[in-house]
Chain A
Amino acid sequence: MKFRGRAWRFGSNIDTDAIIPARYLNVSDPEELARHCMEDENPKFVKEVKQGDIIIADSNFGCGSSREHAPIAIKAKGISCVIARSFARIFYRNAFNMGLPIIESGEAVDGTEDGHELEVDLDRGEIRNEMTGRVFKSSPIPPFMQRIIDDGGLMEHIARRRN
């Protein structure tokens, strides 16, 4: 799988209230959630994100609540993948389970500025910064989790096992 898009740069400890404020949690419709994604953190983001764009953030991305509305909002907004130095663990699980690609790479975070164009090759675990030409490696995905991705998410993985 390959993605290409503009990098939207965020700092450390981007919490789930920043990704999708709780005042919108009285609904679970992905399109409605996407309309408010990151709106308190960066009002420009929600207006200007294009299909395929990439979020690049420092450490502990997605900390706080277990709300799956956070990765749902990001995915429905058109973001192709999230790259961070580290992820909060519930967000990490949720993203995997629902099929939002996420990558841990401190190198890529250090070597990317807001607005840079990135190309991500998930299969090869490579992130290429088109502005600087630098290529970064991401940590490999454990085989067990790769099987969940290959099946199309946790529920599909379970459905396949049940049959």
Chain B
Amino acid sequence: MEMTITEKILAAHAGLAEVRPGQLINAKVDLALGNDITAPIAIELFRRTGAKNVFDKEKVILVPDHFAPNKDIQSAEQCKILRTFAREQELTQYYEVGQVGIEHALLPEQGLVLPGDLVVGADSHTCTYGALGAFSTGVGSTDLAAAMVTGELWFKVPETTKLIYRGELRPWVEGKDLILYTIGEIGVDGALYRAIEFTGETIESLPMAGRFTMANMAVEAGAKNGIFLPDRVTKQYVKARAKRKYCFYASDKGAKYEEIREFDVSNIEPQVAFPHLPSNTRGISEIGEIPIDQAVIGSCTNGWLEDLQTAAKVLRGHRISPNTRLIIIPATPSIYRQAMKDGLFEVFLDAGAVISPPTCGPCLGGYMGVLAKGERAIATTNRNFVGRMGHPESEVYLSNPAVAAASAVLGRIAGPDELDHG
């Protein structure tokens, strides 16, 4: 039977020659990931089963990135649960503050996730690794606990929606705009329970950072996973990082898709998602006058080095508006170091921004930039639900890093074309 890339990876991990959509399978996982919010519950469940050891101490990864460095006493207690468990189980992949980065940028960067892998993580944005041609999906703490004990998990094989992108990207348009535009078209449950396969000539020339951004937000359309067919761009990214074998899968020509959609990207301008859903998108030319109090550039969606480079390009030679705060969060320590070496921090500090250590922080209203009542932010993050970044009466608008940077300078939501880039 001819299969999609998602079906092939699931079949290989279930020890089956073939699988079909709707089939319930038990599959081996290559990695099981938890963070400081979801792992404490999983660890308690793990202990309750009476299991002595995790299935593989190199394959259970704990990343305290949400509220670390600890934001308060309770979060300090949660992080301590991870630290204690990691020491007791001798986990090789526990990341302490100083080494820790935002999980979904950290794992690919460290070469821990590779093409062809099956990865589960107790975090909804675990789908990010689909950018590498892996099957990865978010699960809850109970699923994580089950995977920690057995190294396996049950899955329902998803149907696949194939998205084809054609044409050349306009200036300042990148992966973030493609995925926001797509969610605007198909809706926040447009790919519910399904796999999304991102394909087409535009995708073939999209850099890894843009692919990570798109796969990251597949869950914002309800998808189980978002996946790219690995190619030379993937190979370039993984070859220096991989410490074990990996496998490039491809979809068969006759593979069956539940739905196929095509997008002509040459018509897409930078996108902004209005409160309170990622699907409330508008082109930058259609937004009107929206003053902002804060801009955030970072997160597992847009905290990559390329995102910081784009922000610096827009900010160079400008000061942010006196009415706006700009918070920049490099996603990992090595992105942080590289940005510093490349002189990007100088640009950010000259512009009046503050640079945070790697953390999820403000994206989920944790800390490091929580909004007050009535405040409004533009952010390169992934969700703009009610109260997502703080007070229930605050607002979040989602955009790419160039738009967020230009908005910080002008004190209102604006595209980078409104600024002079000397």
Chain A residues packing against B (C-beta within 8 Å): 13, 15, 17-18, 21-23, 25-28, 40-41, 59-60, 63-69, 71-72, 86, 88-90, 93-94, 97-98, 142, 144-145, 153-155, 158-159, 162
Q: Could you mark each residue 210-238 of chain B with 1 if its beta carbon is under 8 Å from any beta carbon of chain A, else 0?
A: 00000000010010100000000000000
Name 17 extra pairs, CB < 8 A, besides A28-B78, A63-B189, A90-B219: A13-B188, A13-B189, A18-B387, A25-B364, A28-B41, A28-B44, A40-B386, A65-B364, A66-B121, A66-B126, A67-B37, A68-B38, A89-B224, A90-B138, A93-B140, A144-B24, A155-B45
> Within the assembled complex, what's the spacing in Å between the Cα atoms of A154 and B140?
11
Q: Which residues of A contact B365 (CB under 8 A)?
A: 17, 21-23
- Contact among A23, A60, A67, A86 for B38, CB-based, below 8 A: A67
Determine if A155 and B386 form an interchain contact, defined as CB atoms under 8 angstroms apart. no
Residue from the list A17, A59, A68, A144 in contact with B140, Cβ < 8 A: A68
B72 at the interface (CB under 8 A from A): yes
**A-B residue pairs in contact (CB < 8 Å), sample of 9:** A13-B188, A17-B386, A67-B140, A68-B142, A71-B140, A89-B222, A93-B143, A98-B142, A159-B50
CB nearest to B81 among chain A residues: A28
Chain A CB within 8 A of B261 CB = no
Residue among A25, A64, A97, A159 making CB contact with B383, cutoff 8 Å: A64
Give Cα distance in the complex from A93 to B121, angstroms: 13
Inter-chain contact B222/A88, CB cutoff 8 Å: yes
Q: Does B385 contact A (CB under 8 A)?
A: yes
Residue of A nearest to B76 (CB): A26
What residues of chain B lie closer than 8 Å to A67, measured between beta carbons?
Answer: 37-38, 140
Stretch at the interface among B146-154, B323-331, B372-380: B146-154
Question: Which chain B positions have C-beta within 8 A of A154?
Answer: 142-143, 146
Decide if B386 touches A94 in the complex (CB within 8 Å).
no
Residue of B41, B188, B385, B388 with most chain A CB atoms under a 10 A cut-off:
B385
Determine whether B49 belongs to the interface, using a CB cutoff of 8 Å to chain A. yes
Pairwise interchain contact A64-B78, C-beta atoms closer than 8 A: no
For residue B30, CB closer than 8 A to chain A, the reply is no
Contact of A90 with B124 in the complex, beta carbons under 8 Å: yes
Residues on A with C-beta less than 8 A from B29 are: none
Cβ-closest chain A residue relative to B35: A66
Please, what's the 1-or-0 string for B111-138, where 1 marks a CB less than 8 Å from any CB in chain A? 0000000000111101000000000001
**Docked pose: A158 CA to B75 CA in angstroms:** 30
Q: Considering the complex of A and B, which 9 residue pairs feature the smallest CB-CB distances, nearest first?
A: A94-B140, A26-B74, A97-B142, A68-B140, A60-B189, A22-B364, A40-B392, A66-B124, A66-B138
Give CA–CA (A153, B49) in the complex, Å.
12
Q: Total contacts A to B, CB within 8 angstroms?
A: 135
A87: min CB distance to chain B, Å: 9
Contacts of B87 in A (CB 8 A): none
Chain B residues near A59 (CB, 8 Å)? 189
Q: Tell me whether B397 is interfacial, beta carbon within 8 Å.
A: no
CA distance A27 to B67 in the complex (A): 12
Contact of A27 with B74 at beta-carbon distance under 8 Å, contacts A40-B386, A89-B193, A159-B50 already known: yes
Residues of B within 8 A of A (CB): 24, 37-38, 40-41, 44-45, 48-51, 66-67, 71-72, 74-75, 78, 121-124, 126, 138-143, 145-146, 149-150, 154, 188-189, 192-193, 219, 222, 224, 277, 364-366, 370, 383, 385-388, 390, 392
What is the bound-complex CA distance between A158 and B388, given in angstroms?
35
Which residue of chain B has the shortest Cβ distance to A39 in the bound complex?
A: B392
- CB contact between A155 and one of B49, B75, B124, B126 (< 8 Å): that residue: B49
Q: Which residue of A lies closest to B389 (CB)?
A: A22
A71's nearest neighbour on chain B, judged by CB, is: B140
What is the chain A residue whose CB lies nearest that of B42? A68
- B40: A residues at CB distance < 8 A: 28
| CB-based contact A26/B72 at 8 Å | yes
Closest chain B CB from A159 CB (angstroms): 5
Q: Which one, B45, B48, B66, B188, contacts A63 given CB within 8 A?
A: B188
Q: How far is the CA of A153 from the CA of B38 in the complex (A)?
A: 18
A23 to B72 CA separation, bound complex (whole angstroms): 11
B24 to chain A, nearest CB (A): 5
Q: Is the CB of B124 within 8 A of A65?
A: yes
Q: Is the CB of A41 within 8 A of B386?
A: yes
Whole-angstrom distance between the alpha carbons of A90 and B222 in the complex?
Answer: 9
Residues of B within 8 A of A93 (CB): 139-140, 143
Give Cα distance in the complex from A27 to B222, angstroms.
27
- Nearest neighbor of B75 in chain A, beta-carbon distance: A26
Whether B143 and A97, one on each chain, are in contact in the complex, defined by CB atoms closer than 8 angstroms, is yes
B67 touches A26 (CB 8 A): yes
Given contacts A17-B386, A22-B365, contact A158 B74 (CB under 8 A): no
The answer on a CB contact under 8 Å between B222 and A60 is yes
CA distance A149 to B392 in the complex (A): 36
B385 touches A17 (CB 8 A): yes
* Interchain CB contact (< 8 A) of A13 among B67, B122, B277: B277
- A63 CA to B149 CA in the complex, in Å? 27
Contact A18 B142 (CB under 8 A): no
In the complex, chain A residues whose CB is within 8 Å of the CB of B123: 65-66
Q: Please give the distance in Å from B408's CB to the nearest CB on chain A.
A: 24
Interface pair B141/A144, CB less than 8 Å apart: no
Given A13-B277, A22-B365, A59-B189, are A94 and B142 also a contact pair (CB < 8 Å)?
Answer: yes
Bound form: Cα–Cα A116–B102 in Å:
45
Using known A-B contacts A17-B385, A90-B124, determine if residue A26 contacts B50 with beta carbons closer than 8 Å. Answer: no
